[in-house]
């Protein structure tokens, strides 16, 4: 009887599941057939809201359930943003741009690239206006390119200079007996400093101060040109908090007006030449991209391949958020074998990670460089392992505000021996040979430390040699600027780690020059796929684990949790940026 009940239940479950899949399948077909086509109306204003996460490369999911069930994360792709602004320059239906965003969820280098493209848009004769209830520094840096900047009468503004906060856990480790055992090379290799000290080292303070000043200086130069204020005036405003409210910000010429949004919209209507009683045609950046304006359409046979390496470096396949040697190397081989690809741009936006995966990608890049020129374009960050995979390119571009360098390595393993002793747990091991495997329940042995240190030193020397070979420098010259030190893009250009300052467009133009091609189109890699099993596992009624943790812990506590979890999950020797640094 029980067997029959189970059999009937199984059959019923099968048909219910089949029915759900059947309904979803036809819902997808119906949705795709009836999807509204985005139409750009005449006398439109392009609205830039950059509060969603900006990735260098965010290809549309090939998973149909993402679109139908509304599960996509709404990420913006930097290459599509730049293409959309480029297309808007010559689009007769777009009269101007409205920058209206509460924040910019991108790095300073990405904002710098968007600013440059907006300046080109202004040069075409069209207007740019900006409005926000509150301006933080990144939002203001972007908005400062506008012809006029407005703020809500009871809004606010932050203009105080850059700062960085680093959390240290040494006292916590000593108190509870849960620690990270660290072996490193490089006096500036501060990725693990929070776990071995309770305050910032002089070397770390030196490097953070240096690159923060460099990045802030670049931001001030750009703002100075746009607002016609000297760098000295801007620093005085920041030092004395002379933009702490809308009235002071206007008095000190950081903004042009203090108005409510309805008045701002009426002003936009005047700018496009319509009566205030009529509706303003605004099209969001996302919809403008969806209309097909996120691409530069070309039919040339020759191609420049752009391979995006974004996220931390892991050993394995990788995905759209993490760099794995399998996906990147597959993309390199595909571009190498395509006879129409004349040159390759490797776009790097990574704090580094696995030293082994970095070296495997370095080797594939070496093989590729023998057949086709490779140009590197650095995004917000291309440091440590991110620099490892960049160093052997034929030519390297970085934005002045890129964070790069950090040529150094470390090994870190968790250890809870003091904690388990406190709570009365003892671990015993049995081995067949003299050398014992590492146990997190026992203090790190001298032999294990020495062997690991030897591995760290070997990889550091390999790293420095790779850079020396790629940059045509001596080991001693690289070692002098290595030691795990982090540099801004401008500093890296001065010390020889970078060839030229500029963004992705400049890198593509250089690659085309090296590939001896003038008429070409862009081919983007890698290609990401979602299999059917992953698609069917999606649940529209459940928040992601990340969303739940953020909601329960709060953004700040979630960041602490994520950093500790990432470090505890590291495998093998790491070439990684000091990721605990938060610039704000």
| pLDDT tens digits, 235-255 | 999 999 999 999 999 999 999
Q: Is the peptide bond before 526 cis (omega within 30 degrees of 0)?
A: yes
Does the pLDDT of residue 110 top 60, yes or no? yes
Does residue 190 have a pLDDT over 90? no
Mean pLDDT of 173-182: 86
pLDDT of the residue at 31: 47
How far is the C-alpha of 134 from the C-alpha of 130, rounded, in Å? 12
Mean pLDDT throughout 448-477?
A: 93
Q: Which residue has the tokens 């309904």?
A: 23
List the chain domain ranges. Answer: 44-160+241-293, 303-412+466-579
Q: What is the mean pLDDT of residues 261-271?
A: 95
* Tokens matching residue 415: 């250890």
Over residues 73-81, the mean pLDDT reads 82
In the numeric block, the tokens 């007006």 are attached to 257
Of residues 563 and 248, which shows the higher confidence score? 248
Using pLDDT thresholds of 50, 70 and 90, give the confidence band for residue 196: confident
DSSP category for residue 384? T
The catalytic residue among 384, 390, 406, 417 is 384
Architecture (CATH level 2) of domain 303-412+466-579 = Alpha-Beta Complex (3.90)
Catalytic residue, candidates 189, 250, 290, 342: 189
- The whole-number average pLDDT for the span 260-271 is 96
CA–CA gap between residue 139 and residue 99 (Å, rounded): 9
User: Helix crossing, 202-227 with 108-123: angle to 10°?
Assistant: 10
Instruction: Please state, in angstroms and rounded to a whole number, the distance separating the CA atoms of residues 291 and 293.
Output: 6
CATH of domain 44-160+241-293: 3.90.226.10
pLDDT at 131: 98
- Considering Cα of 558, then 564, then 566, then 568, what sign does the dihedral take? negative
Which residues face 97 on adjacent strands? 46, 128
Question: What would the mean pLDDT of 538-561 be, rounded to a whole number?
Answer: 50
* 551 phi and psi angles, rounded to 5 deg: -65, -40
Q: Is 384 assigned a catalytic role?
A: yes
Q: Which of helix, strand or coil describes residue 346?
A: strand
Q: Which helix (H) or strand (E) holds 129?
A: strand 127-135
Eight-class DSSP state of 300: -
Instruction: Quickly state the pLDDT bin for 529 (edges 50, 70, 90).
Output: low
Q: Which of 136-140, 150-154, 206-210, 496-500 has the lowest mean pLDDT?
A: 206-210
Q: How confident is the model at residue 412 (pLDDT cuts 50, 70, 90)?
A: confident
User: First-to-last CA distance in the chain?
Assistant: 67
pLDDT band at residue 337 under the 50/70/90 scheme: very high
Mean pLDDT of the chain: 85
Round to whole Å and give the CA distance between 167 and 194. 6
Supply the DSSP string of 25-81, one letter for each residue: HHHHHHHHHTPPPP-PPTTEEEEE---S-EES--PPPS-HHHHHTT----PEEHHHH
Task: Tell me, yes or no, if the two domains 44-160+241-293 and 303-412+466-579 fold the same way.
Answer: yes
Mean pLDDT is highest, among 31-40, 417-426, 487-496, for 487-496
Residue 428 has a pLDDT of 87
For residue 121, give the nearest of 82, 149, 77 by alpha carbon: 82
**Residue length of the chain:** 584
Question: What string of DSSP letters covers 191-217?
Answer: GGGGGT-SS--HHHHHHHHHHHHHHHH
What share of the chain has pLDDT > 90, as a percent? 59
Active site residue 339: no
What are 235-244's contacts with CB under 8 Å, separation 24+?
235/161, 237/159, 238/159, 238/160, 238/161, 239/161, 241/160, 243/157, 243/158, 243/159, 244/156, 244/157
């Amino acid at each position: 009887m029980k067997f029959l009940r189970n059999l009937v239940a199984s059959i019923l479950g099968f048909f219910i599941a089949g029915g759900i899949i059947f309904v979803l399948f036809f819902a997808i077909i119906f949705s795709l057939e009836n999807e509204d086509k985005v139409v750009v109306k005449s006398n439109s204003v392009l609205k830039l809201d950059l509060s969603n996460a900006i990735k260098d490369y965010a290809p549309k999911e090939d998973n149909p359930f993402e679109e139908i069930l509304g599960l996509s994360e709404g990420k913006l792709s930097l290459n599509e943003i730049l293409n959309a602004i480029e297309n808007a320059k010559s689009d007769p239906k777009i009269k101007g741009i409205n920058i209206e965003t509460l924040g910019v969820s991108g790095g300073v280098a990405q904002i710098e690239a968007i600013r440059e493209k907006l300046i080109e848009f202004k040069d075409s004769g069209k207007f740019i206006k900006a409005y926000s209830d509150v301006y933080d520094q990144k939002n203001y840096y972007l908005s400062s390119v506008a012809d006029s900047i407005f703020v809500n009468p009871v809004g606010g503004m932050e203009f105080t200079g850059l700062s960085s906060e680093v959390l240290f856990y040494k006292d916590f480790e000593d108190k509870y007996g849960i620690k990270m055992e660290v072996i490193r090379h490089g006096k500036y290799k501060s990725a693990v400093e929070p776990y071995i000290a309770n305050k910032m080292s002089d070397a770390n303070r030196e490097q953070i101060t240096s690159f923060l000043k460099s990045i802030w200086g670049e931001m001030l130069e750009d703002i100075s040109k746009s607002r016609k204020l000297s760098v000295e005036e801007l620093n005085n405003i920041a030092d004395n908090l002379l933009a702490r409210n809308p009235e002071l910000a206007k008095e000190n010429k950081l903004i042009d007006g203090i108005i409510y949004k309805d008045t701002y919209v009426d002003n936009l209507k005047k700018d496009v030449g319509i009566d205030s009683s009529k509706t303003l045609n605004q099209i969001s950046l996302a919809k403008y991209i969806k209309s097909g304006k996120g691409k530069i359409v070309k039919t040339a046979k020759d191609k420049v391949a752009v391979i995006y390496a974004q996220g931390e470096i892991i050993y394995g396949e990788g995905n759209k958020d993490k760099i794995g040697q399998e996906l990147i190397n597959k993309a390199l081989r595909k571009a190498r074998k395509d006879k129409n690809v004349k040159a390759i741009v490797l776009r790097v936006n990574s704090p580094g990670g696995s030293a082994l995966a970095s070296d495997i990608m370095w080797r594939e890049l070496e093989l590729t460089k023998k057949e086709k020129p490779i140009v590197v374009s650095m995004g917000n960050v291309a440091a440590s392992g991110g620099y490892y995979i960049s160093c052997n390119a034929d030519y390297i571009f970085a934005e002045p505000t890129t964070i790069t360098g950090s040529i150094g390595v470390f090994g870190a393993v968790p250890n809870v021996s003091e904690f388990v002793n406190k709570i009365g747990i003892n671990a015993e091991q049995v081995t067949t040979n003299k050398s014992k495997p590492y146990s997190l329940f026992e203090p790190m042995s001298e032999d294990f430390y020495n062997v690991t240190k030897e591995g760290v030193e070997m990889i550091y020397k390999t790293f420095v040699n790779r850079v020396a070979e790629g940059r045509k420098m001596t080991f001693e010259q690289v070692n002098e600027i290595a030691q795990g030190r982090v540099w801004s893009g401008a500093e890296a250009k001065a010390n020889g780690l970078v060839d030229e300052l500029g963004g992705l467009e400049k890198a593509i133009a250089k690659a085309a020059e090296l590939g001896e091609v003038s008429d070409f189109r862009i081919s983007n890699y890698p290609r990401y796929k979602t299999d059917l099993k992953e698609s069917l596992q999606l649940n529209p009624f459940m928040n992601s684990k990340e969303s739940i943790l953020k909601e329960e812990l709060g953004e700040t506590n979630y960041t602490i949790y994520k950093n500790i979890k990432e470090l505890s999950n590291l495998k093998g020797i790491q070439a990684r940026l000091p990721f605990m640094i938060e610039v704000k």
